[in-house]
Structure 1
Amino acid sequence: MNKLLVNTPQNVQIEYNVSVLGSRILAFIIDIIIRITYLIVAYKFISYFKITDEWLNLGIYSLITLPVLLYGVILETLMNGQTIGKWITKIRVVQMDGEKASFYNYFARWLIGIFEINLTFGAVAFITIAINKNGQRLGDLAANTVLISLKPQLDLHQTIFNDLAENYLIKFPEVAKLSDRDINIINDNFQTALKSNNFELLEALTRKIEEITGVKSDGMGFIDFIQRIIQDHYHFHRNK
């Protein structure tokens, strides 16, 4: 799985997993099924009224079809970069800098998607995604967006504790001020922040730790700092 390194507004470097092609195809299939199901149900419902006026029929069916045509751009705007298919497969459209995409970004992706997905049966999109290191199709390139995976990237226990050497040196002895309850709360929130790429929560955790312990992160970055605090606390109490 390819990685995308972005700088957050807090000048913290965060590594995203770029969505794999399989997840995108599955999301696309789910969205197609939803749209087809909607059309079948809607058309069936309208047919019960037996409208004989051709122009009225045309207008009604056009209105019914409109949400299907605009499905992607509408849902991505309302669901923060996700359609129902993307939500199920845990992928999301974001800007290349990791920021939330705007309506313009979603609209540009959708507009170009008419050509590269609908008119070419997905061939152009498939080829572009396959050869682009960030898995971007033409719509993504034009809109400066990328699809990222929201699936957990880190196993907290493995990442934090596996490589603690016997000669491990505690960097922040002030972790003694943190109770077991404190560190458990930090652990839980840290995992949540990592899984959801929640930079605000990482910053809030860092500031709270600094407030309680009196130490400063000294430009370590939120993730590195919080990991080190957890490691130090673990090692401090393990040696007691």
Structure 2
Amino acid sequence: MKQLVTGDAVVLGLRPARLPSRALAVCLDLVLVWVIYIALTLALLTAVSSLDVAALAAVQVGLFLLVLVGVPIAVETLTGGRSVGKIAAGLRVVRDDGGPIRFRHALVRGALGVVEIQLLFGLVACVASLVSERGRRLGDVFAGTLVVRERVPSVEGPAVPPPPPQWLSAQFAEVDLSRVPDSLWFAVRQFLLRVEQLDPAVRRSLAERLADDVRDWTGGSSPQGMSAVGYLAGVVAERREREARRVFAGSEGMSSPSPVPSSPSPPSPPSPLLSPPPSPSSTPPVAGGDDDGDYDGDGDGPRPSTSGFVPPS
């Protein structure tokens, strides 16, 4: 799908509507407007039945232009590109640059829509929408408009990394985390949020580099047999616990509220990336190689994060 870019070189996150949703919206609009047209025609022809044939033909043409052409144009202009059918289908008409349409856009769309949708039974509109990269019919092409989807399913990830198992959190009570920079914490947090979505080789390489950076700043070492992902999850959870204790301690110093019993946190589901360390008799796993990364430091002393992990924008 081609991205929509405004005149200021801003990429818009709009999703063009395709033929099935547009056809549903058009069918609903046509049913509604034809019901209004037929009802008004019957009422007016009964009222002016005494007129001659030319007058009756003029009344019919006027009703056709007023209802089947003027009503859709007026509705799209007043509602900013939303008709009854489009509201039901979750669609909206916008300009090519993503802005709201005006009367001239609705006029061109409505005038050409009468020809390509009603007079030609929608054949031209269907062919043009299938051929167009963004699903536009001829009215949209000449008017410079686009029909987009307003109701887009949102997929949101967790706000914070999931908590590690209890046995893992107890391994980092004495680790000095005060020297680790915030930029490294941010990189570790973003990595843990997306650890399940990464390729295993990339995940291992990034985890080992981030773990090396954290160990250099803390001056400690990983517990024997613990994976790099488990080490990162443990230090992040320990930092979060210390921040929470410091905040609560400060609030208790300003006021003395009545103590509230804390309920035990529910156990987190086991993760294959955070499995318990092997028994002493087993051989600890060998750390993965660094053939996938671009880190070229010498490993002496504390240093900022050089993992190359950049969270997605």
| Common fold: TM-score over 0.5 | yes
Give, in angstroms, the shift of residue 70 of structure 1: 2.5
Tell me, yes or no, if structure 1 residue 102 matches structure 2 residue 102.
yes
Corresponding residue of 1:134: 134
Letter in 2 for 1:31: D
Inter-partner Cα distance in structure 1 for 2:115 and 2:63: 22
CA distance in 2: counterparts of 1:238 and 1:153, whole angstroms: 36
Unaligned runs of 5+ in 2: 165-183, 188-238, 245-313
CA apart distance, 1:15: 0.9
Aligned to 2:24: 26
Match of 1:5 in 2: 4
Residue in structure 2 matched with residue 169 of structure 1 by the alignment: 185
Q: How far apart are residue 141 of structure 1 and its match? A: 1.5
Inter-CA distance 119–163: structure 2 relative to 1 (3 Å threshold): farther
Partner of 1:51: 49
Normalization by structure 1: what TM-score?
A: 0.60
Between Structure 1 and Structure 2, which shows a larger proportion of helix residues? 1
Report how far residue 161 of structure 1 moved: 1.4
- 1:152-203 C-alpha deviation (Å, 9 max, x unpaired): 3424xxx2417847798348xxxxxxxxxxxxxxxxxxxxxxxxxxxxxxxx
Query: Residue type of the partner of 1:104?
Result: R
**Structure 1 residue 52: deviation in Å?**
0.8
Change (3 A) 1:164 1:39: same
Structure 1 equivalent of residue 90 of structure 2? 90
- Compared with structure 1, are the counterparts of its residues 118 and 60 closer, same or farther at alpha carbon in structure 2 (3 Å cutoff)? closer
Code of the residue aligned with 2:22 in structure 1: it is R
Distance change >3 Å, CA 141–CA 170, structure 1 → 2 = same
Matched, 1:41 2:57: no
Give the secondary-structure state (helix, strand or coil) at the position aligned to 2:146: strand
By how many angstroms is 1:104 displaced?
A: 1.6
Answer with 1 or 2: which has the greater Rg.
Answer: 2
Give unpaired runs (5+ residues) of structure 1.
172-234
Count of aligned pairs: 172
**Structure 1 residue aligned with 2:263:** none
Query: Which whole-Å CA distance do the structure 2 matches of 1:31 and 1:95 have between them?
Result: 21
Change (3 A) 1:4 1:70: farther
- State the TM-score, normalizing by the size of structure 2: 0.47
Does structure 2 retain, via aligned residues, the 8 Å contact 1:128–1:138? yes
Aligned to 1:215: none
Partners of 1:6 and 1:151 in 2: how far apart? 20
Aligned-partner residue type, residue 45 of structure 1: A
CA positional deviation for 1:146: 0.7
CA distance in 2, matches of 1:59, 1:151: 43
By how many angstroms is 1:120 displaced? 2.9
**Is the 8 Å Cα contact of residues 45 and 56 (structure 2) preserved in structure 1?**
no
Q: Percent identity?
A: 24
1:4–1:166 CA distance, 2 compared to 1 (3 A): farther
Task: Give the residue type in structure 2 aligned to 1:98.
Answer: G
